[in-house]
Structure 1
Amino acid sequence: MKAHIRLALVAAMAFAVVTPAAAWKLVKPGEQIIVGKTSMVITAPAEWNRVTWGPIKGSEQWTLDGIALNELYAAGDIQSGKPLLTEFNKKDNPLPKFASTMQLADLPDLFERTWRVGRNAVVFTTSKIEPVKMGGSDAVRIHYDYVRDGSNLKYKGVATAAIVHDQLQLIVFEAPALFYFERDNAKAAALMDNVSFRVMPIAKPS
């Protein structure tokens, strides 16, 4: 691996989310995974590593080689009034919130504003927005890149978002632009195209 790529990866690892090694599980091709006990179901088209832990309720993190190198973030059933990521500075720099009144056209802006705050993205560029399907529902796919505050490392990513039963369904894949994103982007897109939604039982009033 070339020296400039090695240096970029060292920088990326500084931002890695540390999770217990024992929490990671191998997802086999064809295996159906219920994401975070939500209505979102992913049928894995290839092997991935998965941890049933995420920054918000109903979310998980998946990777091929390690979060610092290629991160897939899946969050199902985000309710109205809730953020897409964890609030770290709710008082002084709150994250934007999803609203059930939003349309698909509103989601790219919601995503960008979230990433600017939650991922410290000082430079964020949306290169392409396209209509797609997610589990049979209309969705939007956002292609983007950004640089985090204090870093020269450029990340590239793709996010697919839909509103199902008035709740936001989101899958994001991103990796350092050098080497890993281009290598793994097709695998992430195939995973996003293998999503379905199960019917959830109606909660009984307490």
Structure 2
Amino acid sequence: MGGTDAGPGRGGVLPGAVRGGLAVTAVLAALVVVALGVRYGGDGAPGRVDARVWGLTGGPGPSWRAFAEAVDFLGEPVGAAALVLGTATGCLLLRRPRAAVLVVAGTGAAVAATTLLKPAVGRTIHGGHLAFPSGHTGFLTAYALVVALLVAGRLGLGRPAGLSLVLAAGTAAGAVMGWAQIVLDAHYPTDVLGGWATALAVVPATAWAVDRVAGTGPRTGR
């Protein structure tokens, strides 16, 4: 069935080559979220790890702060919506509707998870603002993971290359947004770690669910 999401390298949005590795990663990431949530649940102050990381970042200059604000905008409703809708539209123009669904569902799942976890954990910053896990970090990490999954599937990458691409993209995006949140004093560093881990936990599961609903199993790894 050509022209939609079928054909070489497009048997599903979760390539079989990376399925096992991402399943393990998702479980470990979920455990990290739970451990951090238990450790910092109900807290309203930075922990020792947070204080040490803040000490390493120092005070950013005006140009770095401006860059951090630009990165932060990508996690705001307008910026995030533009990023997701633009990418989903591109997938539809390429006649890949299932990919478009993953772009929306994968990022949406990460946002929903971080939103639901915040009141459950109850960690606060700046006098009552719920902080754990970082929704901005979770969103951009999820977006990068989704795009990397689609690229890995499109190129038909094998297990080492595909998994390396997906994890590197998610880590890079999480690091950049996490740095911005720390520099802008919007989150504790451990909130950022929690947001990154949340995305790593939910995106593979969402991709698997999209394939299951569409009736397409992952391709066999090389």
Q: TM-score, normalised by structure 2?
A: 0.31
In terms of fraction of residues, the more helix-rich structure is 2
Q: Which has the larger radius of gyration?
A: 2
Whose relative contact order is higher, 1 or 2, with alpha carbons under 8 Å and at least 6 apart? 2
In terms of fraction of residues, the more strand-rich structure is 1
Q: TM-score, normalised by structure 1?
A: 0.33
